[in-house]
Amino acid sequence: MMQNTFMTYLGAFIVGGIICAIGQILIDKTKLTSARILVLFVTTGAVLGGLGIYEKIVQIGGAGATVPLTGFGYNLVKGTMKEINQHGLLGAFTGGVKAAAAGITAAVFFGYLASVAFTPKAKR
Amino acid sequence: MYNIMTKKEYEKYAEKIAPKSNIVRNTARAFVVGGLICVVGQIITNFLKSKGYDMDDTSNLTALIMILIGIIFTGLNVYDELGRFAGAGSIVPITGFANSIVSPAMEFKSEGFIMGVGAKMFVIAGPVLVYGISASVVIGIIYYLLNF
């Protein structure tokens, strides 16, 4: 059991590290801005999710695959496909945001509170 | 020797002497920091599973907690410091998505709570949601056509 727990951490570290390293190489090599990187990653995650490839990465990496923004794209598509299975084509419009609802709502709500409550440090 | 240069020549020259090793260093930093952030996510996931939460609740709660962590560290002005060191290692995880919401919103608070905070929250998160959700709809329609 201890062994298994350790393996989940190792998998998360390596897979998450590799995904972030790919992002850094793209930034350094192509001068892509972070907004473009994030859009690229969420879209890539969605496509790999649709192809059934990202599922395998999640099996190896656990949170290492779900925590990076590619995992957000994967989660959107996973929810979409699940909802299509139950409700047909309508699911294409309900499943994605439904699956990502907790993350989106938390980001908006807590993000708003924090933006109001905190002040940025003076730029150096 | 390099005194007389056109702008193009200068750019070429600058690119040539820009230290290549920085890419290796930056990538290593992104790998370690990004990996560690994901380990934090795994610790939360394992903890929630051990408390008996099912898979959906675990993944939702993990996302929520990671976003909260990213937001709090951004508010305390720690996350942007981390970003200077870690680059993509702090941008790519979902904590970085949270950071991209709070950081500009705090900075533009002086422009008011509607067009300052409310609008600037989505400078980066907006495009991410537009492309992420649109991609999921397109893929969903293809999935439907192939399977039903």
Gap from B117 CA to chain A (nearest CA, Å): 7
User: CA–CA distance from B140 to each of A90, B145, B147 (Å)?
Assistant: 10, 9, 10
- Are the beta carbons of B136 and A79 separated by less than 8 Å? yes
Mean of the pLDDT values across residues B110-124?
96
Residues of chain B with Cβ-Cβ distance to A8 below 8 Å are 42, 45-46
- Cα B31 from Cα B100, distance rounded (Å): 20
Residues of A (22-51) whose Cβ lies below 8 Å from B: 22-29, 34-35, 37-39, 41-43, 46-47, 49-50
Residue B110's domain spans which residues? 55-123
Mean of the pLDDT values across residues B10-35?
83
Q: Which residue of chain B comes nearest to A15, CA vs CA?
A: B35
Q: Is residue B3 part of a domain?
A: no
Q: Is residue B104 part of a domain?
A: yes
- Cα B47 from Cα B79, distance rounded (Å): 24
Which residues of chain A carry a pLDDT beneath 50? 124
**Counted domains in chain B:** 1
Beta bridge partners of B93: A68
Gap from A82 CA to chain B (nearest CA, Å): 10
Q: Is residue B128 part of a domain?
A: no
What local confidence, expressed as pLDDT, does residue B18 receive?
A: 63
User: CA–CA distance from B14 to each of A31, B19, B20 (Å)?
Assistant: 15, 10, 12
Residues of chain A with Cβ-Cβ distance to B121 below 8 Å are 108, 111-112, 115
Write the pLDDT tens digit of every residue in B93-108.
Answer: 999 999 999 999 999 9
Q: Is residue B78 part of a domain?
A: yes
Contacts of A38 (CB under 8 A, 6+ apart): A69, B91, B92, B96, B97, B100, B124, B127, B128
- Are the beta carbons of B144 and A88 separated by less than 8 Å? yes
Q: Is residue B65 part of a domain?
A: yes
Q: Are B124 and B93 in contact (CB under 8 A)?
A: no
Q: Is residue B81 part of a domain?
A: yes
DSSP, residue by residue, B32-51? HHHHHHHHHHHHHHHHHHHT
Mean of the pLDDT values across residues B25-53?
97
User: What ipTM does the predicted assembly reach?
Assistant: 0.94
- Cα B118 from Cα B34, distance rounded (Å): 29
User: Would the pLDDT of B20 be above 70?
Assistant: no
Q: Is residue B132 part of a domain?
A: no
Among A67, A77, A110, the residue with its CB nearest the CB of B41 is A67
Q: Is residue B47 part of a domain?
A: no
